[in-house]
Structure 1
Amino acid sequence: MLNLLILYGLIWTGFHLGAGYVAQRLPGRLFADFPLVSREYGWEDSGRLYERLGIRWWKDHLPEAGGFLRGGFPKRHLQSGDPGYLGQFALETCRAECSHWLTWSLALTFFVWNPWQIGVVMLIYGAASNLPCILVQRYNRIRLRRVARTLARRAQRDDAALPAHALPRQGERQRA
């Protein structure tokens, strides 16, 4: 029995690493066209659903392996408020979510070489180990996109042309 548990643990580790490796190498444009991971749905209620699930209290206790593989993108902390960085971060949450969906789907392989009861247990384990990570990626992406929209509106407002009456006249000193 212990041998089987060790084997299943090694298989799941391989699934997680393999799915992360595959997702990391997929082109970013693929995620923009894949609605499951790129679209925000009405039932998410602009992220409030996740807040009702208490995600703010437990999300930081989950492992974060974005920087584990070479070329990965660490997502534990926001490093910048730059719009380009925020866009890349949001894209990487799509990539991470895709990786977790792929890992969870690999649980179906247990049905091929195990009794169906083991397959069911592995599906439940796959849900328990991947669904919280999927929820965190979706929650963070909604928040990142909200911040990016706010920054874009602010930049547009600040760069907007002032009305003629608000500009100083030629030769007139501007008040500080």
Structure 2
Amino acid sequence: MPLVTLPAVWVVIIDVVAWTFFHLFISAWCLRIPQTFFLKDHAWFRLFSWERSGEIWQRLFRVKQWKGLLIDGTVILKQGYSKERLPGKRRDDLNIFAAETKRAELTHWLSMVPAPLFFLWNPPGAGWAMIGYAVLFNLPFIVVQRYNRGRIAMITSKETGESM
């Protein structure tokens, strides 16, 4: 049972405004994190061996076929680092691109966090729908970032002769 009972039209308006606020606030906040943070090898961004340098995401979800359809947040926010295409083939360019995939991934993980708040003013079914929306909207972006980072890791490891 929601904490606040409102007419359905107001619930929908509040849901739209709240999601817009959360997405923009979290995106703007993540853009303020220095790039140096993402250039480091933090455990929570590491690729797992089962991801096979992103190959698993292509095999399971055919990422190459649809990733171009996703909107890059830099278009909306008019700031940030576009991940539409590689900026260059030098190792530094690839490392920066990989760092920005970490920023985008973090943004989308954090964008799911507010979903339980929607139970405060939504009936239970709509609250669960908000959880579903958060997951279904953000997971494709997370998959693409992990796919791209895996491909970059494969390229840079071949350059240095490191084993995967």
Please tell me the root mean square deviation across aligned C-alpha atoms, in Å. Answer: 1.9
State the distance in 2 between where 1:148 and 1:66 align: 25
**Identity %, equivalent residues:** 36
What SS does the aligned partner of 1:104 have? coil
Change (3 A) 1:115 1:33: farther
Q: Which has the larger radius of gyration?
A: 1
Q: Structure 1: any 5+ residue segments left out of the alignment?
A: 154-176
> 2:134 aligns to what?
126
**Equivalent residue pairs, number:** 152
Aligned pair 1:14/2:14, yes or no?
Answer: no
4+ residue segments displaced more than 4 Å: none
TM-score, reference length from structure 2: 0.82
State the distance in 1 between where 2:14 and 2:126 align: 13
- Deviation per CA, 1:82-140: give whole Å up to 9, x if none: 21111111001000000000001111211233333222110100011000000000000
Q: Structure 2: any 5+ residue segments left out of the alignment?
A: 1-7
Following superposition, the deviation at residue 29 of structure 1 comes to 4.5
| 1:9-158 equivalent positions in 2, closer than 5 A | 9-31=16-38, 32=40, 34-36=42-44, 38-52=45-59, 53-66=61-74, 68-69=76-77, 71-153=79-161
Change (3 A) 1:90 1:25: same
Q: After the TM superposition, which of the residue ranges 122-131 and 61-70 deviates more from structure 2?
A: 61-70
What SS does the aligned partner of 2:125 have? helix
Query: Aligned letter for 1:98?
Result: L
State the distance in 2 between where 1:150 and 1:49 align: 19
Q: Any conservation in 2 of the 1:67–1:73 contact (CA below 8 Å)?
A: no
Q: Any conservation in 2 of the 1:43–1:49 contact (CA below 8 Å)?
A: yes
